[in-house]
Structure 1
């Protein structure tokens, strides 16, 4: 296209983005993350990503920065910046492995655990808000379909990082 007034090609013009499953899932994820961030920022002073990382570390699902990078599909430098912020706030610490001196484990501090313990209530509250009006059967069906998408795309269903 040489001019903004030119018509976009039919592949762009005719594609109904709001009917694309991936787009809808992405928008729903973004909306949920924004709602969680509103709550975690006002109640705990952290973002939804920081909250989720604290929970993943505290629950034992992710113990290394590399685990977090794989789980969230982000590069190691982004994880390092997030971990730096959480460490500066004294919510986690880096601990060298006694078995492998190259490995640095992430461990929550007592303040980090106190925040992580509050997260299930926030996560569930946002989920309940988003699923208002759904029957328990619909919620179960939605979970089942999302698990199938994860399985079809090679992602672990249990929330652990992909190896």
Structure 2
């Protein structure tokens, strides 16, 4: 059973490793090997740990982190949804996304946005996000990647 819990500063290396493994497994073919190398280079301490201060969550199975997800309230943006390769295709990413959407709704947001990787755009469309135009994502590290900006209205229950 998946448990979703708030990440703490001490979780940043684990979250960074989940991210690295997910990108290297899931994004092959959508981006060049050079882009994947640059995207996954470095260490958690190079800025990723700063994200733990936001609404950053870990998805855990039997106490072990297997997925991540984040809500950036200021930007009204969902991000960092990554699942370890051995746990993909089990609905974990969808559960993390649903959790973050509920959190956003509870915190008063009427819509959320995200920059979908090229390989993940279909997943987000199935989850109700809208967006077709390709854009360039500029990462804090200077990497530029093609992405698809998407938005979803959050309906009140």
Q: TM-score of the superposition, structure 1-length normalised?
A: 0.29
TM-score by structure 2 length? 0.30
The structure with the largest strand share of the pair is 2
The structure in which a higher percent of residues are helix is 1
